[in-house]
Structure 1
Amino acid sequence: MALPAGPATAPPPRPAPAAHAGHATTAAAPSAAEQALRLQALLGQHSVLAAEFMRGRIRGDENFAQSANAALGRNTDAMTQLLRDLFGDATARRFAALWAEHVVELFTYARGLADQDDAVRAEAREELIEYEQDLAGFFVDASHGRLTTRAANRAMRMHVDHLLGQADAYAARDYPAAERLYRESYQHTYELGGTVAGALLTGRDAAALRAPIWRLRSQLGKLLAEHVVLVEDVTRAAVTNSPDFSAAAQMLNGNTRDLATAMDSLFGAGAARSFQSLWASHVDQVVAYAAAAAARDPGRRDRARARLHELEGRLAAFLENATGKRLRSTSLSDALLAHDQMLLRHAEAFAAKEYGTAQQMAFETYEHMFELARLLAGAFGATVAARLPVGGAETGHGAMAGVVERS
């Protein structure tokens, strides 16, 4: 995979925090490009939460299913508010009604699987086909035809097929297929967010999304957030000693390889090998901590935490060196520490069956990855741009040369 890299100039600054009392200032609204990245994140998160919700229902784990359902509602509310901010209340209300019905039918389909009721499943599938067409029509209308009906229908159908396919495979205990579709569903729905945003926005807002720095942020965000999703999937399996552990671990390994491929595209094969070794070790220790939490073994937990702390420092030093100190190891260590602490708290809460807390930590960890992607994209893009030769694209750094903008 070749990731785009932007010029040395950083993306627009994030909105300033609200001022303290006595200093009344108004925070700048997020840019349209920021909102577009947010839509990608929320749609990708929807696919994950919907799959988890369906799986909890299939397993008969009602407490987990209820917590996933609540998280899914929170995700829907966030998407609705985002569309309200961008396009107004009428558009948001129409979306919310259609999306809520779409979620209800996913629940009904999962109930049919849990109860082994083929009639319920068939009826839910028919309803979902109808709602996916309505949703496709909504996006086509909102884009004023920039998104074609054919493309919108195909994208929505694929989204539903992924979710139903993973649920069918999970119910049949075909865990390799279930986990593959779980990952494909996330990737497709995340990319769907970019397609939709590109069609809904116009003029300079739409053009901004095509700039290398924004594409780099988008792709790094996708991979890093997917890392969180898949780590949490594996840790849940580790905690419960469930039979889908090996299949989930294979998907997580795939994400690690994709991140390493991105590093190869940006910094070369040697850096990619170093990164992959460090990142894989980091993943192993998070999973080891989860297993120790489930076993209530404080000694193993402490050893995993200590090993993670060491790896945080090594990863930070690696990234500082790779970016020519455009990223400082001290701030990176803090960011990686926060990432690991959230993952460990998720594992502890899940092991204690405190599913609401686990979902809250999953939300926070997922969103934190987009902050990290913003930080990394600015430094990565500047680093690659700075070392490009003066000659044409064919003389540049591997596959990156043709997509890096020069200032």
Structure 2
Amino acid sequence: MRTSRRSIPVLCALLLAVSPSPPAARATGEDQAVVTVRWSAPADPADLAVRLQALLGQHSVLAAGLMRSRIRGDDDFVQAANAALGKNTDAMTDLMAQLFGEDMVNEFSPMWAEHVVELVAYASALAAHDDAAREHAREELIEYEGELSAFLAGQSHGRLSPSAAHHALAMHVEHLTEQADAYAAQDYLTADRAYREGYRHMYDLGLTLADSLLPARDRPALREPVWRLRSQLGKLLAEHVVLVGEVTRAAVANTPDFDAAARMINANTRDLTAAMDSLFGTTTARRFQRLWGYHVEQLVAYGGATAAGDNERRDRVRSKLKEYEGEIATFLSGATGARMTTPQLAAAFAGHDDMLLRHADAYAAKDYAAAHDIAYSTYEHGFDLARDLADAFGASVASRLPRGGAQTGYGGLARGER
């Protein structure tokens, strides 16, 4: 599994230009149960742009999951996966109407729906070993790439070239068809590499589209360091949620793709650790990696215990996770200079873990509709947590800058001298 640390250090170098800001208002007392989901009322176009990234990344993994369930012949899972993808499509259509206008969406929606239909047709052809149908679906997807890329380029008024738009959409389709081909061939390492690359590609495409299609007055916010940190941390934490779901599914169902799924979640942990290293240095990053890795191990252990029907072991995992939630909360509160308090963080991570465990329970019970609903909520919760953490991290790093900021060269804080 290839991992990349290139974007995080660049992002964090930009972050050093941020002035300290007060932490966002947060719930107190009994209202601290979980971080509040904000998607229903985003503050501004910059928040909507992160939402677009989130939905595009989610589209990629939901489409891949639907294609895989078709290949497995898992009809019950297919229905639930199709409903989740439909929910994502509806949310994306509503969001794009807010960002870019109803007229744009009226043309966009049929093309997007067509591409979803053809992705499912491609997977169905793989399952049926029907090469002619598979080739037809591929031809339809290529036609879609051309139509949608020309449309998006036209909407950008020259800010997005037709060739760049076409390349981005062709890559999306290639990732999904590659992972489906590999999954059908039981080459799970290749399938999961393409799965992860597809998520990241579509997430990043959200920024490209926002920067190309938003009015000029809204685009500068997308270059603000704190916005970039929210975006990148959101990508990593949401990917964590997705990949925990995948490895849990494999553990609960005892499927042969478990090892490949475990490699994916480990790669995500390394990327989160790299982000902490860039922000706070090696010592902090190493402690984070130990805590976060332990957390992942317990979530996977819960899936295994659930598959085995071992309730005593499941209870032990829950107890261990509760201890972890206190430790990670204390650690991150310290890293943020108490801009997020230990009780706030403990409640947020308790909510995070509870949703992931309920997802495993629902999947083990073959209640796939509930499993997808829980996964959907957990994904959104990951972005809310990322936003709170990014704001606190940004303020914490900025508070350590000498006066003068960029004019004084940041006092050596650009890398390692902490």
TM-score, length-scaled by structure 2: 0.90
Opposite residue 124 of structure 2, the aligned amino acid is R
Task: Report the CA distance between 1:176 and its aligned residue.
Answer: 0.5
Alignment counterpart, residue 409 of structure 2, candidates 388, 393, 398: 393
**Could you say which residue in structure 1 is the equivalent of 2:129?**
116
Contact 1:40 1:193 in 2 (8 A): yes
Contact 1:388 1:396 in 2 (8 A): no
Alignment counterpart, residue 98 of structure 1, candidates 103, 108, 111: 111
Q: 1:61-80 alignment to 2 at 5 Å?
A: 61-80=74-93
Alignment counterpart, residue 283 of structure 2, candidates 267, 270, 274: 270
Note closer, same or farther for the CA distance 1:122–1:10 as it changes in structure 2 (3 Å cut): farther
Note closer, same or farther for the CA distance 1:349–1:84 as it changes in structure 2 (3 Å cut): same
**Could you say which residue in structure 2 is the equivalent of 1:9?**
21
Contact 1:49 1:71 in 2 (8 A): yes
Q: Does 1:209 align with 2:222?
A: yes
Task: Report the CA distance between 1:29 and its aligned residue.
Answer: 6.0
Contact 1:278 1:315 in 2 (8 A): yes
State the Cα deviation string for residues 74-99 of structure 1 (Å, max 9, x = none). Answer: 10100100111222222112111010
**Could you say which residue in structure 1 is the equivalent of 2:57?**
44
**Could you say which residue in structure 2 is the equivalent of 1:55?**
68
**Could you say which residue in structure 2 is the equivalent of 1:82?**
95
**Could you say which residue in structure 1 is the equivalent of 2:198?**
185
Note closer, same or farther for the CA distance 1:129–1:400 as it changes in structure 2 (3 Å cut): farther
State the Cα deviation string for residues 134-189 of structure 1 (Å, max 9, x = none). Answer: 11122112212211111100000000000000000000000100011110000010
Contact 2:355 2:378 in 1 (8 A): yes
**Comparing 39-48 and 292-301, the one that deviates more:** 292-301
Opposite residue 392 of structure 1, the aligned amino acid is T
Q: Does 1:382 align with 2:382?
A: no
State the Cα deviation string for residues 303-339 of structure 1 (Å, max 9, x = none). Answer: 0000000000000000011111111010000000000
Counterpart CA distance in 1 for 2:94 and 2:23 is 24
Counterpart CA distance in 1 for 2:230 and 2:300 is 27
Percent identity over the alignment is 59
Task: Report the CA distance between 1:251 and its aligned residue.
Answer: 0.9
Contact 1:289 1:304 in 2 (8 A): yes
Task: Report the CA distance between 1:200 and its aligned residue.
Answer: 0.8
State the Cα deviation string for residues 56-114 of structure 1 (Å, max 9, x = none). Answer: 00000011011111110110100100111222222112111010000000000001100
**Comparing 286-295 and 112-121, the one that deviates more:** 286-295
TM-score, length-scaled by structure 1: 0.92
The number of residue pairs the alignment matches comes to: 389
Task: Report the CA distance between 1:10 and its aligned residue.
Answer: 5.8
Counterpart CA distance in 2 for 1:392 and 1:255 is 35
- Note the residue ranges of structure 2 that are not aligned, 5 or more in a row: 27-39
Task: Report the CA distance between 1:28 and its aligned residue.
Answer: 7.0
- Note the residue ranges of structure 1 that are not aligned, 5 or more in a row: 15-26, 402-407
Task: Report the CA distance between 1:204 and its aligned residue.
Answer: 2.9
Q: Report SS of the residue matched to 1:8.
A: coil
Counterpart CA distance in 2 for 1:72 and 1:190 is 16
State the Cα deviation string for residues 370-399 of structure 1 (Å, max 9, x = none). Answer: 100110011100111111234633633244
Q: Report SS of the residue matched to 2:52.
A: helix
Q: Report SS of the residue matched to 2:182.
A: helix
Opposite residue 297 of structure 1, the aligned amino acid is D
Q: Report SS of the residue matched to 2:152.
A: helix
**Could you say which residue in structure 2 is the equivalent of 1:141?**
154
Opposite residue 33 of structure 1, the aligned amino acid is A
Q: Report SS of the residue matched to 1:145.
A: coil
Counterpart CA distance in 1 for 2:388 and 2:24 is 12
Note closer, same or farther for the CA distance 1:394–1:334 as it changes in structure 2 (3 Å cut): closer
Contact 2:100 2:213 in 1 (8 A): no
CA RMSD of aligned residues (A): 1.7
Note closer, same or farther for the CA distance 1:363–1:397 as it changes in structure 2 (3 Å cut): same
Alignment counterpart, residue 354 of structure 2, candidates 341, 348, 357: 341
Task: Report the CA distance between 1:202 and its aligned residue.
Answer: 2.5
Contact 1:230 1:252 in 2 (8 A): yes
**Could you say which residue in structure 1 is the equivalent of 2:144?**
131
Q: Does 1:229 align with 2:251?
A: no
